[in-house]
Amino acid sequence: MKKFVLAALLCPAAALAAPQDFPTIDRHLFVNECMQENGGSLDAMYKCSCVMDQLAANLTYEQFQDGDVAQHGANTGGKRAALFRDPDSVKQSAKTLSAAKDAAAKACNFTPKKR
């Protein structure tokens, strides 16, 4: 009986967990990079954090991760980087993340300096 009560108590907590919850390290890396690109001020930290929260609310972690890899890989030179530049699915992932970043920046009243 105790196991049933414990399971019943834990299920609502699991149901309330955000399905798009991103790992802390990815949130940190995104906000840190965004801050560096935008002057490193306290204001940039708040706005970059807002953008990250918006992304987490509107994208799955997989969409975010695929787009982030695609965007960073597109800036890499050489033949091996063609894997991150050429396939249509990779280009689409980068576009999806870019559009989500634009919408998030607008929602956060943020004009990024660099993109």
Tell me, yes or no, whether 48 lies in a domain: yes
Catalogue the long-range contacts made by 106-114 (C-beta closer than 8 Å, 24 or more residues apart): 107/50, 107/54, 108/47, 108/50, 108/51, 108/54, 109/47, 110/47, 110/48, 110/50, 110/51, 112/34, 112/37, 112/38, 113/37, 113/38, 113/39, 114/37, 114/38
pLDDT tens-place string over residues 16-33: 445 468 999 999 999 999
Q: Count of domains in the chain?
A: 1
Q: Of 1 and 21, which is predicted with more confidence?
A: 21
Tell me, yes or no, whether 98 lies in a domain: yes
H or E stretch including 114?
none
Tell me, yes or no, whether 10 lies in a domain: no
Q: Of 31 and 115, which is predicted with more confidence?
A: 31
Euclidean distance between CA atoms 70 and 104, whole angstroms: 19
Going by C-alpha positions, the residue among 107, 110, 8, 113 that lies closest to residue 58 is: 107
| Structural domain of 67 | 22-107
Tell me, yes or no, whether 112 lies in a domain: no
Q: Within a 10 A sphere around the Cβ of 8, how many other Cβ atoms?
A: 9
Tell me, yes or no, whether 52 lies in a domain: yes
Residue type for position 43: D
Structure token pair of residue 99: 């559009």
Tell me, yes or no, whether 82 lies in a domain: yes
Tell me, yes or no, whether 87 lies in a domain: yes
pLDDT tens-place string over residues 47-90: 999 999 999 999 999 999 999 988 887 777 777 777 777 788 88
